[in-house]
């Protein structure tokens, strides 16, 4: 099946540790995105990438890092610098052109313990 | 920067009542998309509006795009329990030379049987 796969679905992290969330898509989409969603809140853009080896900061990039070495993959690292990392993280992709549908993965729940 | 607000934040309705959520952008949009997120799930694309004043219908759902392309609405006629979830609008626009979508804050709908 074509789609976006995020892993892990649930993750617990100790304070001070970095953690990497995986996002893989087989839709041949150029653009990929990471959003953060806090309980009862909307979606806030962390980082996005429109082509391989290029990415831009979104509205809340501090404490996060990404890479886009392959078209299919857009991993997100939540660093220890992120003060409130507990949230639901959504990876998404689109063909990248104006007006294309954004397809979302099933999300990853990160809890800092 | 560009902001997209939605009202109301929450709405409880009796099954069979109508429901409307409104989306307002601080800047003119190229297009607007609507997504639905079921509780515990990820956002799923519903529809896209591109033209000024455009109206589209999907069964009991009616979507409108304002004449100025800065606001939009989603109206559900005769709600059902399956309509429960959070409805997001996403405004597409060029920002700092890059095209991206900004999601609204969402409206959480509860339908009481």
Query: Which residues in B lie closer than 8 A to residue A30 (C-beta atoms)?
Result: none
Over the stretch B11-48, which tens digit does the pLDDT of each residue have?
Answer: 999 999 999 999 999 999 999 999 999 998 999 999 99
Mean pLDDT of A68-88: 94
Give the model confidence (pLDDT) of B99-109 as tens digits: 778 899 899 99
**How many CB pairs (< 8 A) connect A and B?**
51
**Nearest-by-CA chain B residue for A35:** B103
pLDDT at A11: 93
Given CA atoms B45, B33, B47, B10 in this order, what sign does their dihedral have? positive
Residue A99 confidence (pLDDT) above 70: no
List % helix, strand, coil for chain A (3-state, nearest 5).
Answer: 0, 50, 50
Question: DSSP character for A42?
Answer: -
Residue B92, beta-bridge partner list:
B31, B101
Higher pLDDT, residue A1 or B44: B44
Banded model confidence at residue A5, pLDDT cuts 50, 70, 90: very high
pLDDT at A98: 62
Contact B106 A42 (CB under 8 A): yes
Phi, psi of B17 (to 5 degrees): -80, 160
Find the range with the poorest average confidence among A27-41, B42-56, B63-77: A27-41
Residues of A in contact with B33 (CB under 8 A): 101-102
- Of the candidates A40, A48, A101, which has its C-beta nearest B100's C-beta? A48
Interface probe with B: pick from A4, A10, A33, A42, most Cβ of B within 10 Å = A42
């Amino acid at each position: 099946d074509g789609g976006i796969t995020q892993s892990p679905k649930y993750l617990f992290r100790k304070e001070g540790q970095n953690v990497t969330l995986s996002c893989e898509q087989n839709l041949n989409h150029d653009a990929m995105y990471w959003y953060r969603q806090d309980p009862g809140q909307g979606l806030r853009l962390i980082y996005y990438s429109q082509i391989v080896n290029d990415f831009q900061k979104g509205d809340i990039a501090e404490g996060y890092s990404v890479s886009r070495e392959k078209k299919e993959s857009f991993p997100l690292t939540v660093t220890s610098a992120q003060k409130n990392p507990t949230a639901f993280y959504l990876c998404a992709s689109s063909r990248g052109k104006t007006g294309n549908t954004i397809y979302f993965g099933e999300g990853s729940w990160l809890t800092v313990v | 920067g560009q902001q997209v607000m939605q009202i109301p934040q929450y709405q409880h309705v009796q099954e069979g009542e109508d429901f409307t959520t409104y989306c307002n952008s601080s800047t003119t949009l190229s297009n607007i998309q609507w997504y639905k997120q079921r509780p515990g799930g990820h956002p799923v694309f519903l529809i896209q509006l591109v033209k000024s004043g455009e109206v589209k219908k999907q069964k009991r759902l009616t979507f409108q795009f304002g004449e100025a392309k800065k606001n939009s609405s989603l109206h559900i006629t005769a709600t059902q329990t399956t309509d429960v979830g959070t409805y997001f609008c996403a405004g597409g626009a060029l920002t700092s030379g890059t095209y991206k979508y900004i999601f609204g804050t969402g409206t959480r709908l509860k339908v009481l049987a």
